[in-house]
């Protein structure tokens, strides 16, 4: 590129003025230009640390290996489903059908397992069913001028009704003991379900940050017009995240089936708010374009330790609810105020 005298001059940035050089060593954390990306991802981590510290003071046994494994294994289902929810929310969408797809995936898997005896075939069938449902929901949400909230709310009812109908409203059991073991034990005393969640987070985070698809997901959420004009296939990207959400919901449903030793259509419904809550609490923006799986992981662990702490403290369930609400509010405020002051500075 030929550099004319004019070009040279324009390269001069106002920052060349001496005063801007005096960045204090301590300010590197607040300087977004210098802060590594993953640090912004973990803005909720201090809240989690404080929560665990407070719980350690109030009760005994929070930080024992067995309790930590306990929290993780209880969080595994929400954690896995929250991966898919994160991708959807990153595009600025929302998937309310997650809970019902957990039910559909689990029931399909349990049905194939009980009738063929093969866990592998069951898992494959469940995953296929969940992904197919997600693909249909996503295609409708992406192609029709209907907001994802409405499409997925409708899907919630249709899928959950259809699953109940096909399973005759019954719990599908029994499943083999080896399959139940999946949620109870595994290498190093850590259940296979937890190992699975960890591996899936590593894979999903890598896909988000290191593939063109992950980049497109972020871009559709950041500004759909910029993405469209730059040649991103917006409808395909949107449809794909719901398919991915269906995939992960189904995996979560299979893990839940293993934990409950059977599957029913309604088993995933109550988890929806925990799943979306973990994503948002972790710091992924509901407007899309900002967030990551690392954030969601912290959000999942936060909710996991809150509920674990409540039972360690032996609180009655209504007290638990009130305190859970208060803790979530405080954590979200601290994180929100922190981000706000960083932006102001």
Partner 1 sequence: MTAITVTGLSKSFGGVVAVDGVSFTVRGGEVVALAGENGAGKSTIKNIIGGILRPDSGHVDFGDAGNVATVHQETSLFPDLTVAENILIGHLRSSRVGTVRPAALRRTASVLLRRVGAGFGPDAVVRELSAGRRQLVEIAKALATEPRAIVFDEPTASLNLDEREMIMRIVEQLRDDGVAVLYITHYLEEIFRLSRRIVVMRDGRLVADRPAGELDRSTLEALMVGRELAQGYPETTKPRQEIALSVRDLGDGARVEGVSFDVAEGEIFGLAGLMGSGRTEVARAIFGLAGKIGRIEVAGQPLRRGDVRASIAAGIAFVTEDRRNEGLFLERPIRESLSIVGLGSVCRPLGWLDHAAESRLTKDLATAVALTARSGQEVDGGSLSGGNQQKVVLAKWLSGQPRLIILDEPTRGIDVGAKAEIYRLLADLARAGTAVLLISSEMEEVLGLAHRVGVMHDGRLAGILDRRRATQEAVIRLATGGIR
At its nearest, how many Å lie between partner 1 and the CB of residue 40? 11
Is residue 32 within the footprint of partner 1 (CB under 8 A)?
Answer: yes
Size of the site for partner 1 (CB under 8 A): 46
136: tokens are: 């249909």
Which among 18-26, 126-134, 157-165, 267-275 is the span making contact with partner 1, rule CB under 8 A? Answer: 18-26
What residues are paired with 172 via a beta bridge?
263
Q: Which residue in this structure is represented by tokens 């075939």?
A: 121
CB closer to partner 1, 27 vs 321: 27
- What phi and psi values does residue 263 have, to the nearest 5 degrees? -130, 140
* Residue of 223, 222, 227, 205 whose CA lies nearest to 214: 205
Task: State the nearest-atom distance from the C-beta of 205 to partner 1, in Å.
Answer: 14
Nearest alpha-carbon partner for 175 in 245, 107, 223: 107
- Locate the DSSP E strands across 37-93: none
Q: Which stretch binds partner 1 (CB under 8 A): 19-27, 68-76, 237-245, 320-328?
A: 19-27
* Residue from the set 88, 232, 243, 293 that interacts with partner 1 by CB under 8 A: 232
Is 20 a binder of partner 1 (CB under 8 A)? yes
Residues 25, 66, 318, 345: which binds partner 1 (CB under 8 A)? 345
| x/- map, 202-231, partner 1, by CB under 8 A | --------xxxx-x--xx--xx-xxxxxxx
The reply to whether 235 sits near partner 1 by the rule CB under 8 A is no
Residue 25 binds partner 1, judged by CB under 8 A? no
Backbone dihedral angles phi then psi of residue 245, each to the nearest 5 degrees: -65, -40
Phi and psi at residue 172, to the nearest 5° = -90, 115
Q: Is 290 in the site for partner 1 (CB under 8 A)?
A: yes
Does 27 sit near partner 1 (CB under 8 A)?
yes
Choose, by CB under 8 A, the member of 25, 26, 33, 314 that binds partner 1: 33
Element (H, E) at 91: none
Q: Between 57 and 212, whose beta carbon lies closer to partner 1? A: 212
Is the Cβ–Cβ distance between 47 and 165 less than 8 Å?
Answer: no
Residue number with CB closer to partner 1 (143 or 210) = 210
Contact status, residue 296 vs residue 286, Cβ threshold 8 Å: no
Least distance CB 231 / partner 1 (angstroms): 4
Identify the CA nearest to 84 among candidates 321, 253, 314, 229. 253
Q: For the chain, first and last CA: distance in Å?
A: 37
From the list 17-25, 121-129, 192-200, 318-326, the region that binds partner 1 by CB under 8 A is 17-25
Q: Which two tokens stand for residue 154?
A: 């409708």
92: how many CB neighbours lie within 10 A of its CB?
18
**20 vs 14: CA distance, rounded Å:** 9
Identify which of residues 36 and 187 has a Cβ nearer to partner 1 in the complex.
36
Measured from the CB of residue 280, what is the shortest distance to partner 1 in angstroms?
A: 17
Q: CA–CA separation, 157 vs 162, rounded Å?
A: 8
Query: Judged by CB under 8 A, does residue 341 bind partner 1?
Result: no
- Residues near partner 1 (CB under 8 A) are 1, 4-7, 9-17, 19-20, 22-24, 27, 30-33, 37, 210-213, 215, 218-219, 222-223, 225-233, 289-290, 345
């Amino acid at each position: 590129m030929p550099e004319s005298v004019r070009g040279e001059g324009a390269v001069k940035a106002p920052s060349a003025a001496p005063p801007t050089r005096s960045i204090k060593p301590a300010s590197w954390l607040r300087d977004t230009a210098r802060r590594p990306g993953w640090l912004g991802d973990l803005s909720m981590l201090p809240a989690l640390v404080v929560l665990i510290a407070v719980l350690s003071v109030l009760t005994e046994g929070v930080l024992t290996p067995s309790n930590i494994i306990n929290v993780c294994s209880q969080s595994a289902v929400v954690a896995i489903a929250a991966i898919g929810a994160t991708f959807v929310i990153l595009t600025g969408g929302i998937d309310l059908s997650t809970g019902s797809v957990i039910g559909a995936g689990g029931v399909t898997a349990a049905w194939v397992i009980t009738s063929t005896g093969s866990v592998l075939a069951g898992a494959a069938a469940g995953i296929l069913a969940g992904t197919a449902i997600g693909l249909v929901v996503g295609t409708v949400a992406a192609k029709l001028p209907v907001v994802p909230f409405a499409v997925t709310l409708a899907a919630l009812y249709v899928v959950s009704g259809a699953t109940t109908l096909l399973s005759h409203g019954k719990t599908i059991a029994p499943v083999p003991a080896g399959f139940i073991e999946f949620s109870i034990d595994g290498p190093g005393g850590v259940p296979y379900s937890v190992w699975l969640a960890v591996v899936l987070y590593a894979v999903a985070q890598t896909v988000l940050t290191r593939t063109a698809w992950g980049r497109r997901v972020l871009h559709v959420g950041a500004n759909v017009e910029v993405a469209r004009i730059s040649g991103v296939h917006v409808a395909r990207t949107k449809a794909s995240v719901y398919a991915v959400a269906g995939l992960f919901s189904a995996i979560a449903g299979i893990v839940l089936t293993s934990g409950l030793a059977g599957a029913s259509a309604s088993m995933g419904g109550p988890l929806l708010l925990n799943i979306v809550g973990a994503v948002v609490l972790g710091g992924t923006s509901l407007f899309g374009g900002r967030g990551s799986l690392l954030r969601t992981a912290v959000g999942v662990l936060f909710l996991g330790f809150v509920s674990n702490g409540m039972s360690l403290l032996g609180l009655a369930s209504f007290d638990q609810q009130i305190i859970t609400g208060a803790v979530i509010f405080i954590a979200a405020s601290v994180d929100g105020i922190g981000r706000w002051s960083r932006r102001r500075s």
